[in-house]
Structure 1
Amino acid sequence: MPEIPGSIWQRPDMLAALRARDIGRVLHLVRQYAGVSQTSIGSMIGMSQGKVSGIMSGSQQVTALEVFERIADGMDMPDAARLALGLAPRTAPAPVIPSRDDYHRHAPSFSAPSRSVESVQRGEDETTVRRREFVGLAGAALFGAVVADSTPAAEPASGVEDLAAALTEYPPPASGVPELAPLAAAVAQAKQDYQACRYGEVLTALPALLRSLRAACTALDGDDQLKAHALSAEAYHVAASIMLKQEDKGLAWLAADRSVQAAQLSESPLMIGSSARIITHALMDGGHHRAAAGNAGTAAQRMDADLTRPSEDELSVYGALLLRGAIAAAQHGNRHTAAELLDEAEQAGRRLGHEGNHMWTAFGSNNVLCHRVNTALVMGDAGTAIEYARRVNIDALPINERKATLLLDTARAFLMWSKHDRVLHILRAAEQIAPEEITGRPATLRLVRDLLATAPITVRREAHEFADALGVST
Structure 2
Amino acid sequence: MGGVLVAWLRDAMLGLHHDITIPSGSALNTDLSRALTDFHTCRYGSLALRLPRLIHAGHARTAMAARLARSYLLATRMLIKLDEQQLDWMAADRAHQSAETTGDALLIAEAARQLAVLARKANWHEQAMSIALTAADHSGLRAGGPDHAAERGLLIQSAAYTAAKAGDAAGMRELTDEAAAIAKELGGTTRLRDHGGCFSPTTVRLHLISAENSAGDPSTALAAARAVTPQSLPSVERRARYYTGIAVAYGRWGCRDDCVRALLAAEHHAPEETHARPTAKSLISGLLISGRITTELRRLAARVGVLT
Q: TM-score, normalised by structure 2?
A: 0.90
Matched residue type, 1:325: A
- Please show how residues 230-245 of structure 1 align to structure 2 within 5 Å: 230-245=66-81
- What does residue range 126-205 of structure 1 map to in structure 2 within 5 Å? 158-169=4-15, 179-205=24-50
Q: With CA pairs under 8 Å and 6+ residues apart, which has the higher RCO, 1 or 2? A: 2
Structure 1 pair 169–388 and aligned structure 2 pair: CA distance change class (3 A): same
SS at match of 1:249: coil
Q: Is 1:339 equivalent to 2:173 in the alignment? A: yes
TM alignment of 1:263-342, pairs within 5 A = 263-303=99-139, 306-307=141-142, 310-342=144-176
What is the RMSD of the two structures over their aligned residues, measured on CA atoms? 2.5
Residues 1:317 and 1:464: Cα distance change in structure 2 (over 3 Å): same
Cα displacement string for residues 343-384 of structure 1 (whole angstroms, at most 9, x for unaligned residues): 111011112211343232321111111111111100111111
Aligned twin of 2:192: 358
Residue 431 of structure 1: how far off its partner (Å): 0.5
Deviation at 1:160, TM superposition (A): 2.5
Superposed, which structure 2 residues align to 1:383-394 within 5 Å?
383-394=219-230
Deviation (angstroms), 1:215: 2.0
Distance 1:426 1:243 in 2: 24
| Aligned-residue offset at 1:471 | 3.2
Q: Taking structure 1 as reference, are residues 177 and 191 closer, same or farther at Cα in structure 2, changes over 3 Å only?
A: closer
Task: After TM superposition, give the deviation of residue 189 of structure 1 in Å.
Answer: 1.2
Partner residue in 2 for 1:95: none
Give the C-alpha shift of residue 306 in structure 1: 4.8
- Does structure 1 residue 213 correspond to structure 2 residue 49? no
- Is there any run of 5+ residues in structure 1 with no aligned partner, and where? 1-12, 14-156, 218-224
Give me the whole-angstrom Cα distance separating, in 2, the residues matched to 1:180 and 1:347: 39
Q: 1:177 to 1:420 in 2, by over 3 A?
A: closer
What displacement does 1:288 show? 1.9
Letter in 2 for 1:202: L
The residue aligned with 1:101 is none
One-letter amino acid matched to 1:442:
P
Equivalent in 209, 219, 237 of residue 401 of structure 1: 237
1:470 aligns with 2:304: yes
What is the CA deviation profile of residues 360-409 of structure 1, one whole-angstrom value per residue up to 9, with x for unaligned ones?
A: 23211111111111111001111110001000021111111111111111
- Deviation digits for residues 192-241 of structure 1 (CA, Å, limit 9, x no counterpart): 11111112221222222111112222xxxxxxx3xx21111110011111
Query: Contact conserved, 2:141 with 2:148, CA < 8 A, in 1?
Result: no
Task: Specify the structure having the higher radius of gyration (Cα).
Answer: 1
Query: Taking every aligned residue pair, what percent have the same amino acid on both sides?
Result: 29
Is the contact made by 1:369 and 1:388 (CA closer than 8 Å) also made in structure 2?
yes
Distance 1:211 1:461 in 2: 45
Match of 1:251 in 2: 87
Which of these residues, 265, 269, 273, is aligned with residue 429 of structure 1? 265
TM-superposition CA deviations, 1:280-306 (whole Å, max 9, x none): 122222222221111011100115x75
Contact 2:240 2:269 in 1 (8 A): yes
Structure 2 match to 1:260: 96
Contact 1:175–1:215 at 8 Å: present in 2 too? no
Answer yes or no: is the 8 Å Cα contact 1:415–1:423 preserved in 2.
yes
Question: For the residues of structure 2 that align with 1:194 and 1:436, how far apart are their CA atoms?
Answer: 11
Offset of residue 159 of structure 1: 3.7
- Letter of the 2:110 partner, please give it: S
Q: What do residues 124-148 of structure 1 show as CA deviations (whole Å, max 9, x unaligned)?
A: xxxxxxxxxxxxxxxxxxxxxxxxx
Q: Distance in 2 between matches of 1:318 and 1:180?
A: 30
* Structure 1: distance between partners of 2:85 and 2:121: 7
How many Å separate the matches in 1 of 2:93 and 2:288? 38
Q: C-alpha distance in 1, partners of 2:250/2:164?
A: 20
The answer to whether 1:418 aligns with 2:254 is yes
Q: Distance in 2 between matches of 1:375 and 1:382?
A: 10
For residues 32 and 151 of structure 2, what CA distance do their matches in structure 1 show?
18
Aligned length: 305
Distance 2:141 2:105 in 1: 10
Letter matched to residue 407 of structure 1 = Y
Check conservation: 1:356, 1:364, Cα contact below 8 A: yes
Query: How far apart, in 1, do the equivalents of 2:10 and 2:172 lie?
Result: 34
| Runs of 5+ unmatched residues, structure 2 | none
Query: CA deviation digits over 1:103-131, x for unaligned, max 9?
Result: xxxxxxxxxxxxxxxxxxxxxxxxxxxxx
Q: Letter of the aligned partner of 1:253 in structure 2? A: W
Aligned residues of 1:400 and 1:434 also touching (Cα < 8 A): yes
Q: Is the Cα–Cα contact under 8 Å of residues 383 and 413 in structure 1 kept in the other structure?
A: yes
> Structure 1: how far apart are the matches of 2:141 and 2:123?
31
Distance in 2, matches of 1:435 and 1:444, equals 11
User: 2-side partners of 1:470 and 1:246: how far apart?
Assistant: 14
Q: CA contact under 8 A between 1:280 and 1:324: conserved in structure 2? A: yes
